[in-house]
Amino acid sequence: MSVRERILAALERADGSICDDCMVSSAQIKHRQQSNSNCRQLTDEKRILRGRGLCLACKRIKKVNARRDRPSVSDPRTLAPASGPSRLDLGSVDLERSILEFLHGNAATGARGRGPRDRYASFDYCFNYFQSFREADATETLVSPEHLQQSCLQLGFYLASWGMLRGSTFLLKHSLAIYEPVVRAVARMDPAVWGIDAHCYTEENVTKLLECRKNIRAAFGDENRASDTLVTKVMLGVFGNVPAFDTFVCTALSELLGVRSFGRRSLRALGRFYEAHSDVIERHRVATLAFATGGETRRRYTRAKVLDMAFFIRGQQRDRQRD
């Protein structure tokens, strides 16, 4: 078989899109350049499609190739339009692409995804730590003498890794002890708060989340005026019950749901969004990564965490398009 025939056969077997790098092994050809040049020729001859999309083999968003008769819009592996990203609707394909880009990275932008030593995994280690106390029904011991410093360290490093020690933030003026009142507030939080997630944003639970925000903000001190970005990042990292309302997430929320700030209206909108896309969100509640091994734990991402990933990537994409 010729190289081009092997490429077409590889796409037939894969029933999805494949990047030039992975085509080397899929089509059993010598090197990437051979894959690239032949795929370009096949594209010019209108025998295959070529553009930005998710590679079925390496699970990365990059330039990929696909059969012309297999661009199903219901398939999360479908090829992105070569002319560039279209306006995002509430479609499951676009939602899934954003989630997968967060988890696996994007070669075009240099985003690394969620590896054990990558920044995004800082959430996993913080969430695992606090949830382990909840699962042991021992949240009050988060502030015991043997655990308090570790509790502050876990929360503090997660927040630093997720951008909360940049610029002129008040956290830069303080030591690790700034988190002690916050951890104490977490330890005495209403137990129901730990179980709230995007599938149950009822009016009662929304009220509990707003009370949680109030308590965490107060714990940082009235003089510090903790922002909703900081407070919701704490809520995400500890409880996993809301997305973090940072700049990128708020950009996507404003575009898609017509809400921007953290509050009752935005939580209701997120609850409706979850109901509309529960199949995709549930499918991507991946296991958290363990610090000791880098492997998966038995603990899964919350629904609010999956929403956070999707909206963060969408907002980031919009920011790049404006540039």
CATH fold label, 3-84 = Arc Repressor Mutant, subunit A (1.10.10)
Residues 221, 287 contacting (CB under 8 angstroms): no
Residue 282, token pair as written in the block: 């549930």
User: pLDDT digits over 47-68, tens only?
Assistant: 888 876 667 777 666 678 888 7
Residue 91 CB neighbours (<10 A): 13
Residues 174-192 have pLDDT tens digits of: 999 999 999 999 999 999 9
Task: Please give the pLDDT value at position 77.
Answer: 39
Residue 154 CB contacts under 8 Å (≥ 6 apart), including other chains: 125, 126, 129, 130
| Pairs from 21-28 (Cβ < 8 Å, separation ≥ 24) | 21/55, 21/58, 22/55, 22/56, 22/57, 22/58, 23/65, 25/57, 26/57, 27/3
- Cβ-proximal residues to 60 (8 Å cutoff; 6+ apart), any chain: 19, 54, 104, 105, 106, 107, 113
Per-residue pLDDT tens digits for 253-262: 998 899 989 9
The HSE-up count of residue 165 (CA atoms within 13 Å, CB side) is 14
**Where along the chain do its domains lie?**
3-84, 121-322
pLDDT digits (tens, 9 = 90+) for 167-177: 889 999 999 99
Q: Is 118 exposed, middle or buried (0-12, 13-18, 19+ CB in 10 A)?
A: middle
Q: What is the pLDDT of residue 88?
A: 34
Task: Using DSSP, state whether 294 is helix, strand or coil.
Answer: coil
Furthest CA-CA distance within the chain = 73
Please tell me the total number of residues recorded for the chain in this structure: 323
Question: How far is it, in rounded angstroms, from Cα 197 to Cα 118?
Answer: 25
Q: Which residues contact 133 (CB under 8 A, 6 or more apart)?
A: 139, 141, 142
- The beta-strand segments (E) located in 254-306 are 287-289, 296-300
Q: What angle do CA 93, 109, 16 make, to 5 degrees?
A: 35
pLDDT tens track for 277-299: 998 899 999 999 999 999 999 99
100 Rama class: left (phi>0) / alpha (psi -120 to 50) / beta: alpha
